[in-house]
Amino acid sequence: MVKEAKNKKLKVLVIHGPNLQLLGSREPEIYGSVSIDSINKLLKEKAKTLGVQLTIVQSNHEGEIVDAIGAAPEKKVSGILINPAAYTHTSVAIRDALKAVDTPAVEVHLSNIYQREEFRQSSLTAPSCIGQVGGFGVQSYLLGLDALFHSM
């Protein structure tokens, strides 16, 4: 069933953080062999079934991610699906940006950060999100999009 808010198409901003452009070749034993292009294709297919419009960005630069989040209200974004990647554990700026906008966000991770190195086992950004999905590979993105959709 397609959910639309007062005949207005729901818009989701997907943010891929640093180094995610290297998916498919970067540590496949942790992140799998799927590329970012494949993830984006699957997200677009899922979004189509939900009747959601996606805008997808990938950046290795913290400020660009903060800017994308900050522009969400002006662009009438209904929700944010974010994999902050390494910034998960270090970025107060991304945390604050997520908190500052009145836009629900779901944090996703390909790996289970709580089974990783100690420094990766905490998320500074998750408390600014309505939920977090991780450890299911590419399914984390799809589950996150589905959860976000049902919360908007």
Is there a domain that residue 107 lies in?
A: yes
Number of folded domains that form the chain: 1
Is there a domain that residue 1 lies in?
A: no
Domain housing 34: 10-151
CATH number, residue 96: 3.40.50.9100
Is there a domain that residue 133 lies in?
A: yes
pTM to 2 decimal places: 0.90
Is there a domain that residue 59 lies in?
A: yes
Is there a domain that residue 42 lies in?
A: yes
CA angle at 59 for the pair 55 and 63, rounded to the nearest 5°: 105
Is there a domain that residue 142 lies in?
A: yes
List, for residues 81-136, the tens digit of each pLDDT value.
999 999 999 999 999 999 999 899 999 999 888 877 787 777 999 999 999 999 99
Is there a domain that residue 121 lies in?
A: yes
**Residues recognised as catalytic:** 31, 109
List, for residues 11-35, the tens digit of each pLDDT value.
999 999 999 998 887 766 766 678 9
Is there a domain that residue 4 lies in?
A: no
List, for residues 124-138, the tens digit of each pLDDT value.
999 999 999 999 999
Query: Cα–Cα distance between 7 and 121 in angstroms, integer?
Result: 41
Q: What is the number of other CB atoms lying within 10 angstroms of the CB of residue 102?
A: 7
Strand 52-58 relative to strand 105-109, pairing: unpaired
